[in-house]
Amino acid sequence: MSDKKTFNPALYLVTDRDLSLGRSLDWVVEKAVKGGTTVVQLREKKLDTKAFIEEASHIKKILKSYDVPLLINDRVDVALAVGADGVHLGQKDMPYEMARRIMGKETIIGLSVESYEQAKEAGKLDLDYIAISPVYTTPTKEELTEELGLEGVRRITEICRHPSVGIGSIKAHNAGEVIQAGADGVAVVSGICSADDPEHAAKELRQAVDKARMHNA
């Protein structure tokens, strides 16, 4: 298990098999990590529990050799079953306090934040990070029709003390401005999963993030 004290949210990959152009998820993940991805969230909405556990175990083995943490989206049971480094929770998932009690203090737990009110509430919790969603509207989150924009990122990072990643239609050309607006990293789905070369896409994103983070320092 990765050390949560060294958790680096700079480039956060959220997997999506439907956007991976028919390529295997393990191939996409490994290419992304080689390109500079610092954390991987395994998101599966359609797999049954057994298949999800098998896939998570396989991805975990790949990531272990790169010392990149594996987070499981929503499913605390799957995260526990495979010994994942943590979980990512949505606003309608298991309450944070309950997940923390089950997962333990050493586990990474993040929470999606979609409004200023949610950001204020998140600030009261002992989270490891928040995901600001969506910075820009995105087909991968059809239920979220109103984007927060860069001003939303600024306001949320001002009122919530936790490390943050911005998510929503982020590519190499706009990743830097999300960091300059206050986020610590960017979370990407299609920008890596649907890229012709996921490794190159991740490399460009990571360079943009690192450049902006140096500018902010």
What is the DSSP-derived secondary structure letter of residue 188? E
| First-to-final CA distance of the chain | 29
H or E element: which one contains 164?
strand 164-167
Count of alpha carbons within 13 angstroms of residue 107, beta-carbon side: 25
Catalytic residue positions, numbered:
43, 112, 141
What is the spatial distance between Cα 68 and Cα 150, in angstroms, rounded to a whole number?
28
**Alpha helical stretches, state H, 170-197:** 172-180, 190-193
List of residues 6+ apart from 43 with CB closer than 8 A: 14, 15, 16, 73, 74
- Beta strand 11-14 with 39-42 is parallel
C-alpha dist (Å) from residue 6 to 19, 39, 67, 78:
30, 11, 11, 23
